[in-house]
Structures are given as C-alpha cells and as structure tokens.
Amino acid sequence: MVGPLDNDSWLGASGKDWDIVLSSRVRLARNVAGVPFVGMASDPDRNEVVGMVRRIPMFAGNDADLTWHEMENMADRDRRMLVERHLISHQFADATFPRGVAISKDQRLSVMVNEEDHLRIQTLAPGLALREAFQRVSEVRDEFESSIEFAFSPRWGFLTACPTNVGCGIRFSVMLHLPAIRITEELGRVRQAAKDLDLAVRGYHGEGSESVGDFFQISNQITLGTSEDDLLEEFLGAVVPRLVEYERHARTVLQEKKRVMLEDFVHRAHGTLLSARLLGIDEAIKLLSRLRIGRALEVVGSPDLSVIHRLLLNVQPAHLCALSGTSMEEGEETLAARAEMVRNALG
C-alpha cells in the first residue's frame, strides 16, 4: 500500500522564482541491451528486466533507499495516488503486463520499470531545483550502469522505443504556475515561445492532459546532438527565465492596471473555498490556483503556500479517497468530502 505523503519538503516551493516554479523534474529513458523494447517484448522478457533491476545493489539490504512496488498487485487507488504525485505515468498505471516502480523514502526519486522504455528514472524536487535533480538522477544512472548494459549506439546514443527520445534520453521539466498570463490573455506568446525554443507544453498530469488551474509542465524536446549539461544550462539559463519573465510581467500588469479585478477573483476564490459544500476536482484546482496567485501577490495574507500545495494534491480523487474513504468517482459524497477537507484546511 502506498503510504501517506508526510514529507512537507516535497510540497514546499522555495528559493528562486518560488512563486512561479512549483517543481522541477529530470527524467532519463534507458533500455536494456539485447532485449526488445517494452511494447514488443514478451512477458518473460519484461520479467527478465524486472529481475535485472531488482538485483542491483541499490535495492539490497534493509536500509535500502528504494522500495519496490509490483504494479500488478497494487490496488487501483494506490496506483492513482502515485500518478497524482507524478511518480508514475497514467499509461504505466493502466498497463496490464509485468511492471513495477521503485520509489525512494523521500518520494523524490522513482524508477518505472517497463513503461514505454525498460527504465524511466526520474527525480522530482520542489521549486526551481533542476541542478539538484540532475545530480541525483546522474548518481542513480551510474548505479544502474554498473550493473546493467544499456542499449547504446555510438551514433544515436541511448536507444529508446520512441526515436524522439534518442540520444541523451533526458527530459528536463518544470511545473509552472502561469495564471496571470492566462488572465491577461498572453498565453499565445508563451505557446509561441515554447515553439521557438523546441519545448513541449503539457498539462498538470503530463502527456495528453489539459492544463487545469493554469499549471503547465514545460520540458525540452531536443535530446540529440547536445550534452546533458548543455541542455540543462540552456533550459535553466534561457528557457525557464523567459517564461518566468512573461508571467512576472503579466502579474505586474495585473497589480498595476487591474488591481480591483485581481482582488475580486482572488477573494471570490478564497470565499468559495471557505464556504462551498460541494467541490468538483476541476473547480477545486482552479480556485486553489487563484488563491495561490493571491497569496504570492499578497492579496491575501494566508494560508501558507505549503497548505495550498498540500490541498492541490489532496483534493485529487485517489488522495481524497485515501483520506476520506470516499469513492474515486465524482459523486455527491466525494464532492462533499472534498469541500469539507478544503474548509478544514483553510478555516
């Protein structure tokens, strides 16, 4: 069973651009040499990969940092909780063949085995912390490389099931909160900038998801012809600052030219969150997003950002189900439990 998320450091954005950058993530795709990619592999092949991973020293001993979770034996709710924490993907949660995930004690590191690629090693960090996340993912990568030979070509680099990931097989991403850009109708500029900079823009839940509450996941698409360090420096030095600057400019416009409008929608959101008796998931996220910008721009003096971040996680269906005992379906009982949880947290 997936344990509760009792580590506040996972939720607390701090440091540079804390008000806009919620979290950072670095993900590596790797495949085992001589074994068909996951989609073409047989179940014995997939089990062989699971076995290889489980034999590496990182899993050995009682004090091992990583805990192994077989996906086939995991309850649906627990799988959804891992998706909501961004530790596994939707596709991985829904697959029906042998697969598993290793998760570190601090829940910032996860290794999906038999996702689209044999291995998806990823690290998460609150706020803008790509360097730290990259450092950790590199250490884990080295541990794996000393035990497993990965599919590698001198020309193409690390060979991945989808050729668009070939080369470094690395994805740097940040989760950005861009509500002011949306309000000032400048989202088109961000999309154009993303296109110019070869970036992928995804919603709150990654690939294929819509942006809810103005949270956007931005990541590099180029993985070949540039080293990991150069990709990181470009992403960190040029890409993130440019997008942050757009949002910061839009926030200034809101504060200086549309102050009443800003105050109105923040207080309305706060009021609704404090009073609602039924809250749907999309509405909850949207209102929490507005409260978050209100808190960042000091329109409201409370709650702490970590309270908002915790709610952004706990209002989601599987977490709500685990905490309140409700169904994961969006029925009246679930909506009522969500509203009550929010009122209690903010009241």
Partner 1 sequence: MEHKCDRCEKPAQVHEVRIKNGKKHEIHLCPECAAAEGYGSTGAPTAPQFAKAIPVPAQAQRRRITSCSTCGLSIAKFRHHGVLGCPSCYQAFEKHLEPLIARAQGGATHHCGHIPERQEGHMDRQLQRSKLLKKLNEAIAAEQYERAAEIRDSLQGLGGSVLGGEE
Size of the site for partner 1 (CB under 8 A): 41
DSSP character string of 103-142: EETTSSEEEEESSSSSEEEEEEEESS-HHHHHHHHHHHHH
Indicate whether 23 belongs to the interface with partner 1 (CB under 8 A). no
Indicate whether 150 belongs to the interface with partner 1 (CB under 8 A). yes
| Beta carbon nearer to partner 1, 161 or 293 | 161
d(CA 20, CA 16): 9
Indicate whether 44 belongs to the interface with partner 1 (CB under 8 A). no
d(CA 134, CA 25): 8
In the block, tokens 């949002």 appear at: 247
- To the nearest whole angstrom, how small is the minimum distance from the Cβ of residue 235 to partner 1? 14
How far does Cα 253 stand from its chain's mean position? 29
d(CA 176, CA 78): 26
| Beta carbon nearer to partner 1, 232 or 322 | 232
| Beta carbon nearer to partner 1, 34 or 347 | 34
Residues with Cβ < 8 Å from 315, sequence gap 6 or more?
279, 281, 284, 285, 288, 338, 341, 342
- Give the interface segment with partner 1, choosing from 97-105, 141-149, 253-261, 326-334 (CB under 8 A): 141-149
Q: For residue 124, give both structure tokens.
A: 């998460």
**CB-based contact 20:132 (threshold 8 Å):** no
SS3 for 199-267 is EEEEECCECCCCCCCCEEEEEECCCCCCCHHHHHHHHHHHHHHHHHHHHHHHHHHHHHHCHHHHHHHHH
**Interface characters, 92-121, with partner 1 (x: CB under 8 A):** ------------------------x-----
| Beta carbon nearer to partner 1, 162 or 238 | 162
Indicate whether 170 belongs to the interface with partner 1 (CB under 8 A). yes
d(CA 113, CA 98): 9
Interface pick for partner 1 out of 8, 72, 156, 331 (rule CB under 8 A) = 156
d(CA 183, CA 161): 39
Indicate whether 51 belongs to the interface with partner 1 (CB under 8 A). no
Interface pick for partner 1 out of 9, 14, 135, 164 (rule CB under 8 A) = 164
**CB-based contact 274:249 (threshold 8 Å):** no
Binding residues among 214-273 for partner 1 as defined by CB under 8 A: 221-228, 231
Indicate whether 4 belongs to the interface with partner 1 (CB under 8 A). no
Indicate whether 35 belongs to the interface with partner 1 (CB under 8 A). yes
Indicate whether 159 belongs to the interface with partner 1 (CB under 8 A). yes
- To the nearest whole angstrom, how small is the minimum distance from the Cβ of residue 237 to partner 1? 17
Q: What is the largest CA-CA distance in the chain?
A: 63
Interface pick for partner 1 out of 43, 94, 149, 264 (rule CB under 8 A) = 149
- To the nearest whole angstrom, how small is the minimum distance from the Cβ of residue 32 to partner 1? 9
Binding site for partner 1 (CB under 8 A): 31, 33-37, 39-40, 116, 141, 145-146, 149-159, 161-164, 166-168, 170, 198, 221-228, 231
